[in-house]
Amino acid sequence: MGCQMNVHDSERFAGLLEEAGYVAAELGNDPDIIVFNTCAVRENADNKLYGVLSQLVPLKAKNPRMQIAVGGCLAQKDRGEIISRAPYVDVVFGTHNLDALPVLLERARIEKESQIEILEALDVFPSTLPARRDAAHAAWVSISVGCNNTCTFCIVPALRGREKDRRPADILNEIQVLVDQGVLEITLLGQNVNAYGIEFGDRTAFADLLRTCGKIDGLERVRFTSPHPRDFTDNVIEAMAETANVMPHLHMPLQSGSDRILQLMRRSYRSEKYLGIIERARQAIPGVAITTDIIVGFPGETEEDFQQTLEVVRQSRFSGAFTFQYSKRPGTPAATMPDQVDPEIVQERYERLVALANDIAWQENLALVGSQVEVLVATGEGRKDDNTGRASGRARDNRLVHVARTDVGGQIQNIRPGDVLTATITQAAPYHLIADDLHIVRHTKAGDAFEQGQRPVTPGVMLGIPTIGK
């Protein structure tokens, strides 16, 4: 549950458990262990976890040996409250001690009582742990954890701690291992990814890392998420423009277009700076797609503030927007602010924002009809693909594309997740593109791995791997 960092951490959970001798339960079989990796950013994250946990009571009654573990941000926040509300949970562990999971499960089994272990500081950097990945063609690479910002709506710094940066050589080691395994695309992760380097005093470290990624043979696509406008500098734009395998996509959280609300949010930029970043990115990187995050209904937001957000959205021409209705998070300054906005007003504004964002995204997608697109295939077994006979994947600018499996001669092509193809865009919708008439299908090592049913394993990257790079 939650963000990309949780996806990354969950791969480490799977790697740790398999290293300890566990195997993934077959679909349809009752598992012996269920691990929840939780989010605490939004209120419904709590409701979702406890709702799903309650559904496991009959399963636990049928198999008392089954163990349930809860980790992640909500575990870091709620701690012993999880056991109080769900006494059948066996293990609760936090964001700073992922590596403790197998030991805690064993201890709970031996002592026959629930185990709670929450650390206040990072114990082992998650990326040094083994990982079991579902995708052979793409991987997450964490370059930092934690955040030094103090946004009034966000509880992440309290749960993930202050920013801790990995050394460039360690990051490059991991990327090299992944590429050797057949990975074509990596996404650099950080709560504030473009602040990377602040811990060791190098403000050009992130741009330098992007450029160095461009020198790794076999690495075809580099992405990163999520940057902060405060720390976004022109040298990062230059590195994106100059590095061929850094993709023309920029996810830049806006949160609000009102300078007054941005100040209340404690976001250290204003709308003029935000729009300037987007303008310079578009000048330097032809065809760059811009996506964003926006919060509606922050305490004190007036109709005038909301109109300013709509205006920034109109000027920004986002290819996609993740829109959220503000919800109180206990422990954040915003939760106790006056002038909380009526939920009905928030809902109405949210609907207007979504309508505008979708209309702009659709217009931006329609402008691409008739052009050729390179797609890295990401799915091939989903219901949408089965029903339409299409493969799905991401274009270089991160747009979702559903591609026909027939080439210009009408011949059906064997397309697997991890393969790369080129096709012509024929239709557009707000959230995806349709492409037909395959021109090229390039089979890859990752596609071979998918066809053979292999789930890639990445060892702990600090364990005996030679140091490369800076």
The yes-or-no verdict on residue 461 having pLDDT over 60 is no
How far apart (Å, rounded) are the C-alpha atoms in residues 193 and 409? Answer: 45
Domains and CATH numbers, the chain: 4-117 (3.40.50.12160), 135-366 (3.80.30.20), 372-451 (2.40.50)
pLDDT in tens, 220-248: 999 999 899 998 999 999 999 999 999 99
Average of per-residue pLDDT values in the chain: 90
The yes-or-no verdict on residue 46 having pLDDT over 80 is no
Lowest mean pLDDT among 48-62, 284-298, 373-387: 373-387
| pLDDT value for 469 | 35
| pLDDT value for 126 | 80
Mean pLDDT (whole number) for 312-326: 97
pLDDT in tens, 346-387: 999 999 999 999 999 999 999 999 999 999 999 654 445 666
| pLDDT value for 40 | 80
Using CA atoms in the order 340, 345, 348, 350, what is the torsion angle rounded to 10 degrees? -10
pLDDT in tens, 169-213: 999 999 999 999 999 999 999 989 999 998 888 989 999 999 999
| pLDDT value for 463 | 38
The yes-or-no verdict on residue 467 having pLDDT over 60 is no
How far apart (Å, rounded) are the C-alpha atoms in residues 158 and 153? Answer: 12
Helix 234-242 vs helix 205-213: crossing angle, to nearest 10:
0
How far apart (Å, rounded) are the C-alpha atoms in residues 322 and 291? Answer: 8
The yes-or-no verdict on residue 462 having pLDDT over 50 is no
Choice between 156 and 95, residue whose per-residue pLDDT is larger: 95
pLDDT in tens, 432-443: 999 998 988 899
**CA atoms within 13 A of residue 22's CA, in its CB half-sphere:** 22
Choice between 254 and 6, residue whose per-residue pLDDT is larger: 254
